[in-house]
Structure 1
Amino acid sequence: MTTIRVGLADDQPLFRAGIRMILDSQDDFEVVWEAGDGAEAVDRSRAEPVDLVLMDLEMPRMGGVEATSAILHPDDPADVVAGLRIVVLTTFELTDTTFKAIQAGASGFLLKNADPEFLLASLRTIHAGSAVVAPSVMTGLVERFARRSAVVDTDALEQLTAREREIFALLAAGLSNNEIAADRQLSDATVKTHVSRILGKLELRDRVQLVIFAYENGLVSTA
């Protein structure tokens, strides 16, 4: 069994203790270190490399966005920690800070009130190489897409077919392949093909980058 090594960065000791208790209850997780602020998290991640860092956004000395950027994009290439992935844990939902954290390189965005089972499953998914964003963060995007008819005509999406643009909107709204298949009465295999083509045409790595793309091109708004 592969052990997932974790670092916890949060300025609330009780919250760190709660997360540690959840992770320590699992055979495949090991909490290697804890940090009370972003600057300490940067130092600890370099001194004691881990697979995942669970990062709070609002911390003293250095916030989560700045710490994420410093860890993943250090000035000295020798400080790069190979394979490390950062997961933002916060009480906030859809804000500009959310997108800045993901733009800085975070592979996941989860709310602190997440169910422990969802948290564990998400961390395993992220460790396996995928990206995860809390469903509640994505739910509000559905209405924002619906209010913007330009989503079909925008220049940014001209290279997509009409069907791909429909699926693009559903992807950005956080729907899974199965949910998209049910919504559009398509097979799972067909949806998977569409998703692959959309990401390929837009040169995006995953669904998180797709949401950033939509945000940066004015297809959704956090207002």
Structure 2
Amino acid sequence: MIRILLVDDHPGFRAGLRTLLSAAEEVDVVEDVASGEQALAVVGRVQPDVVLMDLAMPGMGGIAATERLVRDHPHIRVIVLSMSDDDDSVFAAIRAGARGYVLKGARRAEIVRSVQAAAEGEAIFGPAIAARLVGYFTERERGEPAPALPELTRREKEILGLVAEHLTNPQIAARLGLSQKTVRNHVSAVFAKLQVTDRAQAIMRAREAGL
């Protein structure tokens, strides 16, 4: 049996995914939680083989949670299960240590196959994501430049650029029409991904990347 931990902030989606996976004899959903923080809190107790991880969640998002899980529990495989299929999200997940990336809405057979492959140590990506990866590396072979700070999403790069302009969180929130809490979460995610501890270090990384 492959032990699964589900991490998604939508209770209805978690319940549906648990029901879907329960129909497969070879997998066992041992726990489902609503955030990255909860995943880190229970992972030592439930000892999953594979974690199905959403990206966009309140508090600690899926990228930061994946980095922590892979670092602290290297035997656990993380598969991102997300609505986002943009290059920023895909490559941020891969750099964080995810062993797979599947879009929400995939058929049960595709999700189960991804879980099986990850449990066996393989890396697997849904068809749409695989096509994007092929396109990315094709562009690299043609000499097109790699994106700056690919571990950051577009929004996080935008906010890092405003941090580099020495805007405060309230000023950034007003500029982008976001809540201050949302901006704080994005700034925290940027710090975690860049492995910096303050705004000065973040600004230095932004300038090095040409933002």
User: Shorter chain as normaliser: what TM range?
Assistant: 0.5 to 0.7
| SS of structure 2 residue aligned to 1:113 | coil
Hey, what does 1:70 align to over in structure 2? 68
Counterparts in 2 of 1:38 and 1:141: CA distance versus 1, 3 Å? closer
2:3 and 2:27 in contact (8 A); partners too: yes
Q: Partner of 1:45 in structure 2?
A: 43
CA displacement, residues 24-63 of structure 1 (integer Å, 9 cap, x when unaligned): 1122111111110111111111222110010000001110
Separation of aligned partners in 2, 1:15 and 1:97: 20
State the distance in 1 between where 2:74 and 2:143 align: 40
Q: Does the 8 Å contact 1:49/1:81 carry over to 2?
A: no
For residues 23 and 31 of structure 2, the distance between their equivalents in structure 1, rounded to whole angstroms, comes to 16
Runs (5+) with no aligned partner, structure 1: 74-79, 155-223
Q: Do the aligned residues in 2 keep the contact of 1:87 with 1:109 (CA within 8 Å)? A: yes
State the distance in 1 between where 2:137 and 2:39 align.
37
Q: Is the 8 A contact 1:6 1:51 kept in 2?
A: yes
- Could you say which residue in structure 2 is the equivalent of 1:193? none
Secondary structure of residue in 1 paired with 2:58: coil
Q: Which residue of 1 aligns with 2:105?
A: 113
Q: Distance in 1 between matches of 2:123 and 2:135?
A: 23
Q: How big is the shift at 1:93?
A: 0.7
Residue type of the alignment partner of 2:100: G
CA RMSD, aligned part only? 2.0
1:67-92 deviation digits (Å, cap 9, x = unpaired): 0011111xxxxxx3352100000001
Q: Does 1:128 align with 2:126?
A: no
TM-score, normalising length: structure 1: 0.60
Partner of 1:151: 141
- Quick one: distance in 2 between partners of 1:144 and 1:130? 21
Cα separation, 1, equivalents of 2:81 and 2:17: 10
Report the CA distance shift for 1:142/1:40 in structure 2 as closer, same or farther (over 3 A): closer
| Matched positions, count | 144
